[in-house]
Amino acid sequence: MLNRNIAAVIVFTVVAVFFVFSALLMHPFGIPEESDMDDYIIDNTQEETGANNGVTSVVFDYRGFDTLGEATVLFTAVAGVIMIFRRLKNE
């Protein structure tokens, strides 16, 4: 039991030190290091997609596959819930 406690303390210390150092090494908020993609989307989203909302144009146009995956996840969740509870209802 003592060994497990010592191991837990060591793991906790390592993880805590890692978190503190990564928090200190973070670059300032709101200033991305590489902003090529952001600048491209901010400059061209109104001409290319015709939408004023840049987030929607990214979600449905530039990264449409991601939204397709989200829709698939929702569909799978609904199918699973209906399957489970229909079985419960019939019994």
Identified binder of another protein from the candidate list 24, 40, 57, 69, rule CB under 8 A? 57
Q: Which stretch binds another protein (CB under 8 A): 2-10, 15-23, 24-32, 52-60?
A: 52-60
**CB 54 within 8 Å of CB 48:** no
Q: Which amino acid makes up residue 43?
A: D
DSSP letter at 70 equals H
Question: Closest CB to another protein among 9 and 55?
Answer: 55
Q: Does 17 bind another protein (CB under 8 A)?
A: no
Q: Which amino acid makes up residue 67?
A: T
Identified binder of another protein from the candidate list 18, 19, 64, 69, rule CB under 8 A? 64
Cα(89)–Cα(85) distance, rounded to whole angstroms? 6
